[in-house]
Amino acid sequence: MREYQRKQLLERVNKEGATIGADIPDRITVQGEEIDLREFVFEIKRRDTVPEGERDRVERAKRNLRRERRERLERIEENEVAFAEGERLADSIIGIDRALDALEQLGSASVEDEATRQEAMDQKRWMNFLKKALGREESGGRGRGGR
């Protein structure tokens, strides 16, 4: 693979938002073991929270996925593969990232609860900003512009 192609693949994999619209692979070999990744992720996400007995399984899966991602990325970084194989690896890395994103979201109560909490915090920050901005305007801004 040529250097510019390798850089192109690395940029694609490391680009923020690379997982937007990406699919979780149906099946993937992780650490030598074939798993139904999409089924596993959807099975876990169907529940509101991860049951106590499943937490170890989910954490182990996340560790293995991170390790597999790192190994695939190193194969591209070290230019060990042809461009076509590099493209396949890049696609699989993005799929692994998508699965990891989905599994990482399980830490919070739910996506909707987290979004509501974030929105409330954003509104509070905005109101504080407006109070400060308007407070400065009222104390020193009357003499400017129209009288």
Kindly state whether residues 76 and 43 are assigned to the same domain: yes
* Domain encompassing residue 119: 110-147
Give residue 138's pLDDT: 46
Give residue 20's pLDDT: 85
Kindly state whether residues 116 and 98 are assigned to the same domain: no
Kindly state whether residues 115 and 102 are assigned to the same domain: no
- Euclidean distance between CA atoms 46 and 41, whole angstroms: 9
Residue 29 pairs with which residues in a beta bridge?
34
Q: How many residues in total does the chain contain?
A: 147
Per-residue pLDDT averaged across 107-127, rounded? 69
Kindly state whether residues 53 and 124 are assigned to the same domain: no
pLDDT digits (tens, 9 = 90+) for 26-69: 998 887 888 899 998 888 888 767 767 778 888 888 999 999 99
Kindly state whether residues 25 and 94 are assigned to the same domain: yes
Kindly state whether residues 120 and 84 are assigned to the same domain: no
Kindly state whether residues 59 and 118 are assigned to the same domain: no
Give residue 136's pLDDT: 58
Kindly state whether residues 101 and 124 are assigned to the same domain: no
- Rounded (10°) angle between helices 52-77 and 83-104: 150
Count of the separate structural domains present in the chain: 2
Residue 122 banded pLDDT, cuts 50, 70, 90:
confident
Kindly state whether residues 102 and 120 are assigned to the same domain: no
Kindly state whether residues 66 and 11 are assigned to the same domain: yes
Residue 119 banded pLDDT, cuts 50, 70, 90:
confident
Kindly state whether residues 15 and 45 are assigned to the same domain: yes
Residue 107 banded pLDDT, cuts 50, 70, 90:
low
- Which value, to the nearest 10 degrees, does the dihedral of the CA atoms of residues 2, 23, 63, 34 take? -90
- Euclidean distance between CA atoms 33 and 146, whole angstroms: 74
Kindly state whether residues 12 and 36 are assigned to the same domain: yes
> Looking at the predicted structure, is the pLDDT value of residue 110 above 60?
no
